Amino acid sequence: MRSTLRALVLAAGLLAAAPAVAAPPTAAEARMIATVKAEHGRNVELLEKLVRVNSGSMNLKGVEAVGGMMRAELEPLGFQVRWIPMAETGRSGHIVATHKGNGRGKRMLLIGHLDTVFEPDSPFQGWTRRADTVEGPGVGDMKGGLVIIVSALRAMQAAGTLKDADITVVLTGDEEKPGSPIAIARRDLIAAGRSSDVALDFEGLSVEGDRDIGSIARRSSNSWTIRVKAKSGHSSGVCTEGMGCGANYELARIIEAFRRELPEPNLTFNVGMIAGGAKAAANAGETGVSAVGKTNIISAEAVALGDIRTLSNEQEARVRAKMQAIVARSLPQAQATIEFADTGYPPMAPTAGNKALLRKLNEVNATLGLPEMSQGDPARRGAGDIAFVSFIDGLVGLGMAGEGAHAPGETADLRSLDRQAQRAALLMSRLTREPRGKR
């Protein structure tokens, strides 16, 4: 009896751990799969056109031009497209496009961005293709994702599933260099999230080895500044009771204490810039620091700037408290302060809802005959716009695979275009058949 019970328990455990049986594609899904394949060349042509238009975040006309190109793709699919100017934040603007379905299924928010890190003065421009590898500014981050959005929606239209889908597409024009104040810069994205049940982010696909990875979390990105004031005088008195050690020693104490006391899973804290001397300051844009002084003067001022990345709001609050406590332990004759600039990106935690959404994507993978996608390490991704709507379930990385994002020589793998568009089309069509949430 005991051996029988053990066998039953073991069998139940194996059954629970086994992947879901692959459901064959429905007729509509087969049509979507075929449509994506048939339109591969058309999609590559669109990608080239988008890449050849420079849309660095501060190239306001270029960003708007890419927005116009996306309008031309979305309107024929039945979307009402609005261009929302962002002059008040110092940026170009956003695309917000809405498609009204049957009002019953999950309301989906598709997230992307029109801008790249490559401004018009960057030497990295143009388009190069070598077999299935394409190179160009923003080809992977994230003009490839824009093409996948269009490809998936076209496939849904061809299969008749788009007509029932309630979808909002938000394409920000300043993801790489957000405008300020951030509350206005992300106002329309957050509003769209409030009216949606699921968020799908079309930034680049994570790949480890030859396996596609599922991304259900992104860490925050916020900056901090430490300023130190200290008693100054002749260096012959440094670290004496009456003079103290100066601002540079105090700043060094703080940075070293960060290194020793702060580490924990999913946390990084970077010290990007340091300066100290008789006078020290950061420039107005906080893109540089400077100091003046002499070797025989005890440093009176020091400044350091860096960032902090966490996986949850709770972790962010806890780590900030630790940093503040370390800063407060000032050496004699020195005083340090730390300020956090909440103008960056919030975290997107790996919630149960996000995990469930990844399981649904893996059901799509089974239908497509693709390997299951394991849950990726959030530390391997940067911050992103989807974090502003992390109050709804979300998936990240539905764009193209590639290498070298944000650097000259950025590439995208054209082989990933079809499978990502097919994944997105099938997933969205299935979500359309699920009951929406109550809001």
- Whether residues 244 and 335 share a domain: the answer is yes
**What CATH number corresponds to the domain at position 331?**
3.30.70.360
Number of domains in the chain: 2
The number of beta carbons lying within 10 Å of the beta carbon of residue 429 is 24
| Same domain membership, residue 372 and residue 262 | no
Residue 88 placed within a domain: yes
Question: Which residues in the chain show pLDDT less than 70?
Answer: 1-21, 438-439
CATH of residue 185: 3.40.630.10
Q: Write out pLDDT tens, residues 169-202.
A: 999 999 999 999 999 999 999 999 999 999 999 9
**What is the C-alpha separation between 271 and 319, in angstroms, rounded?**
15
- Choosing from 313, 345, 377, the residue where a domain stops is 345
Q: Assess if residue 99 is contained within a domain.
A: yes
Burial class (CB in 10 A: 0-12, 13-18, 19+), 270: exposed
- Scanning 369-433, the segments in alpha helix (DSSP H) are 415-432
Residues 245 and 381 both lie in one domain: no
pLDDT tens-digit readout, 396-430? 999 999 999 999 999 999 999 999 999 999 999 99
* Residue 360 and residue 420 in one domain: yes
Q: Give residue 296's pLDDT.
A: 97
Instruction: Look at residue 438 in the predicted model and tell me its pLDDT.
Output: 63
What is the pLDDT at residue 382? 76
Phi, psi of 110 (to 5 degrees): -100, 125
- Do 155 and 281 fall into the same domain? no
Question: In this structure, are 189 and 101 located in the same domain?
Answer: yes
**Within this chain, do residues 25 and 122 fall inside the same structural domain, yes or no?**
yes
230 SS3 class = strand
Do 243 and 362 belong to one domain? no
Residue 12 lies in a domain: no
Same domain? For 104 and 41 the reply is yes
212 near 370, Cβ under 8 Å?
yes
Task: Indicate the pTM of the whole model.
Answer: 0.86
Do 352 and 203 belong together in one domain? yes
Q: What are the tens digits of pLDDT across the range 296-338?
A: 999 999 999 999 999 998 999 999 999 999 999 999 999 999 9
In a domain, 59, yes or no: yes
pLDDT at 9: 40
Cβ-proximal residues to 140 (8 Å cutoff; 6+ apart), any chain: 204, 399, 400, 401, 402, 403, 404, 405, 410, 411, 412
Parent domain of 238: 221-345
- Element containing residue 224 per DSSP (H, E): strand 221-230
